[in-house]
Amino acid sequence: MTSALPLVAVGLLLLATGLIGFYGLRISRTTSDFFVASRTVQPVWNASAISGEYLSAGTFLGLSGLVLLSGAEAFWFPVGYAAGYLLVLLFVAGPLRRSGAYTIPDFVQARLDSLAARRVTSVLVLVIGWLYVVPQLHGAALVITTVAPVPPWVGSVGVAAVVSAVVAAGGMRSVTFVQAFQFWVKLTALAIPVVFLLVVLGGQDLALDPAQVFPPEAGPRSYDTYTTVSLLLALLLGTIGLPHVLVRFYTSPDGVSARWTTVVVIVMISVFYMVSSTMGLVARVVAPDLAEPGVADTVALVLPARLVPGLGGELLSALVIAGAFAAFLGTSSGLVVSLAGVVSQDLFGGTVRSFRWSAVACTIVPLAFALVTIPQGLVTSVGTVFVFAASALSPTILLGVWWRRLTARGAIAGMVVGSALCAVALLVTSALGPGDGLARSLLAQPAAWTIPLATATTVVVSLRDRRGPQPRTDRFLRRLHVPERAPDR
């Protein structure tokens, strides 16, 4: 792609991001502004911001590429991603907002009154966040090499620099404005090209074979049952364990607003998944030559110019590229602001100055890792993060909200067991490479056994803990579950 239009589109996006971030800086004055936007973000605006950070490179580029590669098999990912928010709505959105915490470690310490449990939670939050940032930086490298003859590191470094600057400058208040803007950029950047592509294909006499779009060998009916169940379990429960998702509910005015925010998020991301999946289905019909690992993730970038000739195709491609960078920036910003809050609170007393330095540090670490690693498929990389989050944090968060007998020792044991088992399984899978058989499936998709084992460990250790739950547990749980507008009797 030799046109300068993609670079102009990216430049305009970065300029708009900087201006919006600067506006957020001007109204960010208090510590609460930096950590939770002073808990004043209304549902629609907050839902736009959540969608802006949740719809990552793995969704914007990777989902259409995975549909191209795998057909119907790929649809388990958007189903799991969207349904995960339904579990957030039902089980944790309102209670987490009522907890009054700033971060997940804050919540764990408030619930269990344990500094050790807080520290273990903080370490896991950092690991999950950094693992999630790396695919965003890999995606930026992929896009920049597709549109310009520059080294891959230019894209990764550029996104990291913008993210650290915006987060350090204005904190959560600034990032909220940026992410809400970027969600609508992403949706527009895919929806308009998809409409044009469908119009172009509608004017052609195409003899569509349903098996070409939904090949029987790749459909849900023949997909390995264990792998499907384990993947869905990871995606459903993994959303509950993502730090940048949960911290957003602390920005809502109250628990009712948090629940309404989640409802709007489900609608927004479902619409986006439909658009992204349609791009992949179109590619299965008109661009089967792109169905190669490492190449399929570029389908959304190259397909518009292939089907729409001339300036129109170049403009559509430039729009998609701008949307891709919005995906990298939006998700990375949410992750860095949540990680900076944890590091600042745990190590430096939670000041504005420490938040800013923490934001820079929390960007440099995943950037260094991204520069020395080889990118894998974007969707599968993000899916790995969901598996780890579901195994390491989700049982403790759910039991902390709903089970009064949870103790600090039980929570620590469950988090250590879940994270260790999941890490070992994924590392062994990476070392062995692709393969067939039940053993390989158990290692490649471990959520179906790591999550139950982590949960069982948490429950058993808590029940055997002679100290039992904290004396103020009932009062804290009442605070989580009694709506703000109900009278306190």
Q: What is the pLDDT of residues 222-264, one digit of tens each?
A: 447 788 889 889 988 998 888 877 777 777 777 677 778 888 8
Q: What is the pLDDT of residues 302-358, one digit of tens each?
A: 888 888 888 888 888 889 988 888 888 888 888 888 888 888 888 877 777 888 888
pTM of the predicted structure, to 2 decimals: 0.82
What b-and-e string marks burial along 430-458, b requiring 16 or more CB atoms within 10 Å of the CB?
Answer: eeeeeeeeeebbbbbbbbbbbbebbbebb
Residue 102 DSSP code: S
Q: Give the mean pLDDT of the chain.
A: 82
Residue 63 DSSP code: I
CB count, 10 Å around CB of 119? Answer: 15
CA dist 19 and 160 (Å) reads 17
Are the CB atoms for 112 and 133 separated by under 8 Å?
A: no
What pLDDT score does 347 carry? Answer: 80
Over 60: is that where the pLDDT of 217 sits? no
Give percent of the chain with pLDDT exceeding 90: 18
Take residue 155 and report the two structure tokens written for it.
């894209």
Single out the residue of 336, 349, 383, 360 nearest to residue 70, CA to CA.
Answer: 383
Give percent of the chain with pLDDT exceeding 70: 87
CA dist 116 and 403 (Å) reads 20
Neighbouring residues of 317: CB distance < 8 A, sequence distance ≥ 6: 1, 5, 6, 193, 301, 302, 304, 305
What pLDDT score does 484 carry? Answer: 63
CA dist 405 and 204 (Å) reads 64
Q: What is the pLDDT of residues 382-436, one digit of tens each?
A: 778 889 999 999 999 999 999 999 999 999 999 999 999 999 998 888 777 766 7
Angle at 218 between CA 195 and CA 137, to 5 degrees: 60
Q: Which one-letter amino acid corresponds to residue 15?
A: L
Q: What is the pLDDT of residues 25-42, one digit of tens each?
A: 666 566 665 665 666 777
CA dist 282 and 29 (Å) reads 48
